[in-house]
Structure 1
Amino acid sequence: MDTTLKGALAAGAAAVLLVGGAGTLAFWSDSETVTGTGISSGELKLGTPVCGAWQLNGAGAFTTQLIVPGDQLTRTCTVDLIAAGENLEADLALTSPDLGTSNGLVDELDASAEFTVDGAVVTSVTEADDGGPTVTDEIGVEVTVDLDFTDATNASQDLTATLAALTLSLTQSDATP
């Protein structure tokens, strides 16, 4: 092996030992600890809806009447909302309406909901609605199930649907400042 090559390898090994852990070469260093803190999470939830009876075309209680195209069933409810946390925003919706086993009538029914806070229609709520990190409101909900006159077909005649489960949802949306 060439003497020059041996010398270069020896110098490289010495440099590795000096820098890499032999402890003979020192660099200045320091460290400080950033103090921690306790954190708590907020919450986002709906209470149990309190609802009145189903109404047919706004004219009285729906019991066993047969519906026809153009009819509208409505139900008015209230539900408590708790939204606690800075920069919290959530969307309100009616999701997963369960109207029974699919058939011509079920396929032609349209379920929707309108949400109100203090009489104003809303689609979402934010912590800023009450000027603080916690919103505690009573949300008004009007659930509507329509058999639309212009969209109805003969396929929806003499059938049954069940207003089994109309789910209200509150889903956090991105309100990053």
Structure 2
Amino acid sequence: MERLTKAALATGGAAVLLVSGAGTLALWTDEGLATGTDDTSGTLAVTDGTCGAWTFDGGGAVTEGIVPGDTVVADCALTVGGTGVHLALDDITVSAPTWAETDALTGALEVAVDGATLDGAALTLPLTDPVAVEAASDLVVTVAATFPEASGDHTQALTATLEDVTVQVTQGHLALATP
């Protein structure tokens, strides 16, 4: 019996060595090819627009000139739109404007976004949640120019004629609605 036990152990050990020594036990494998599909990115575009006349931020036309401490605003109308199921606006900013002529007054004015509407609905800036954008939406950005109180005497009797201001919109993403 001892010989049979030894033979059984030797046969089992040899089988283990064969299996482990060979690396892996051969199983059949095969591959299939899945054909891909197109995926297209969306778009975001802002068309050039125009700005209206400067008015005081509290209302009223600028008729006799601005003084340090004043803020004047102008509404700039543009069209924003694009394609994409979850396309939204995440941020609206303006760049430093270009002036017809640069002087101490244009150098002193601080220009920023003061407000905005999208298709007539007021936006709360800065945007805390993305706002959906259609293929073509009317965007009106209120640009504010603040004349700092610390401006010196060298800013008197000058004219600031706005030529351009760049309005930049940043794309946001609307999350999928959960059922």
Q: Normalised by the shorter chain, which TM-score bucket?
A: 0.5 to 0.7
**Contact 2:51 2:74 survives alignment (8 Å):** yes
The 3-state SS of whatever aligns with 2:48 is coil
Tell whether 2:171 aligns with 1:172.
yes
Gaps of 5+ in 1: 1-25
Aligned twin of 2:10: none
**Contact 1:116 1:122 survives alignment (8 Å):** no
* Matched letter for residue 116 of structure 1: T
The 3-state SS of whatever aligns with 1:152 is coil
Tell whether 2:74 aligns with 1:71.
no
* Matched letter for residue 116 of structure 2: F
Pair member with larger Rg: 2
Alpha-carbon offset, residue 143 of structure 1: 1.3
Tell whether 2:132 aligns with 1:129.
yes
Which deviates more from structure 2 when the two are superposed, residues 139-148 or residues 152-161? 152-161
Tell whether 2:117 aligns with 1:147.
no
Gaps of 5+ in 2: 1-25
**Contact 2:132 2:174 survives alignment (8 Å):** no
Which whole-Å CA distance do the structure 1 matches of 2:66 and 2:125 have between them?
A: 30
Superposition pairs of residues 1-177 of structure 1, within 5 angstroms: 28-56=28-56, 58-60=59-61, 62=62, 65-90=64-89, 91-99=91-99, 103-113=103-113, 114-117=115-118, 118-124=121-127, 126=130, 129=132, 134=134, 136-148=136-148, 150-172=149-171
TM-score by length of 1: 0.62
**Contact 2:86 2:132 survives alignment (8 Å):** no
**Contact 1:116 1:140 survives alignment (8 Å):** yes
Q: 1:83 to 1:37 in 2, by over 3 A?
A: same
Alpha-carbon offset, residue 44 of structure 1: 0.3
Q: 1:129 to 1:39 in 2, by over 3 A?
A: same
Alpha-carbon offset, residue 169 of structure 1: 0.8
Which whole-Å CA distance do the structure 2 matches of 1:100 and 1:80 have between them?
A: 24
Alpha-carbon offset, residue 89 of structure 1: 4.3
TM-score by length of 2: 0.62
Which whole-Å CA distance do the structure 2 matches of 1:159 and 1:170 have between them?
A: 32
